[in-house]
Amino acid sequence: MEKKINSGKKIAATKSMEFIDPKKIIGLGTGSTVNHLINKIHETFVLNGQLITAVSTSTETTDLASSLGINIIDLDQVDELNVVIDGADEVDPENNLIKGGGGALLMEKIVASCSKQFIIIVDSSKIVSNLGKFPLPVEVVQFGSERIKDSVERLLVSLGYQMPKVTFRRSETNKYVTDQHNYILDLHLNEILDAKALSLGLLQLVGVVEVGLFMDLASKIIIGDD
């Protein structure tokens, strides 16, 4: 199963190369599927002497891309991105996504929202009829984070979720800290009832920075399956 997922990720990453113009700045998402893409960019362009410039969505992506000779620049140095390619944790039939499994949702959403085309690369296990089996990541500030978690739980109950489980994302020893120095709450909902209402409600809570629901953003979904 793991092997099949990995080859699906590779197939999707390879296909997405068709949408890259090496003369234009590329937006690179985060995660194992994007790592396949970064390796492909290295093999296809960098090793052939082509200078590739990209905007990154995480330290993880910056480290890998830089180590493979891709020039990473700051988003603020770019007016508009032609294409951003990223992975996802779930994709529904309307191309709405859950993202943030790798903890990079805030930077990913900012970069995606600056892009003309936001292309998602996934293996077929990510395709679902309803979002929500994958715990929904919500980035929150560190200050007062236990109280923010309480208010998230209260909101979920008011929206009709029965006994919602909300947990802090953990690193080996402590709460996981994002590249922007925030925490992540994972919302174990099983099924998301109304993604728009949930997203709006969460974004109105003080201390919530961003929500891992990406709605009306993806322009293309590439699904890899062998």
Q: DSSP secondary-structure letter at 114? A: T
Pick the catalytic residue from 108, 146, 153, 172: 108
Sign of the four-CA dihedral 11, 114, 203, 62 = positive
Phi, psi of 168, rounded to the nearest 5 degrees: -80, 135
Q: Which of residues 78-97 bind ligand 5RP (CB under 6 A)?
A: 86-89
33: left (phi over 0), alpha (psi -120 to 50) or beta: alpha
Residue 184 is a binding residue for ligand 5RP (CB under 6 A): no
Residue from 103, 132, 135, 224 that binds ligand 5RP (CB under 6 A)? 103
Size of site (CB under 6 A) for ligand 5RP: 17
Reported as type and span, the H/E element at residue 63 is helix 59-67
Residue 180 is a binding residue for ligand 5RP (CB under 6 A): no
Residue 30 is a binding residue for ligand 5RP (CB under 6 A): yes
Residue 211 is a binding residue for ligand 5RP (CB under 6 A): no
Residues 6+ apart with CB under 8 A from 89: 97, 98, 99, 100, 101, 126, 134, 212
Q: Is 94 a catalytic residue?
A: no
Residue 16 is a binding residue for ligand 5RP (CB under 6 A): no
Angstrom distance (rounded) from CA 134 to CA 189 = 8
Residue 60 is a binding residue for ligand 5RP (CB under 6 A): no
| Cβ proximity to ligand 5RP, 151 vs 180, nearer residue | 180
Q: Which residues are catalytic?
A: 108
Task: Summarize as ranges the residues that interact with ligand 5RP (CB under 6 A).
Answer: 29-33, 86-89, 99-105, 108
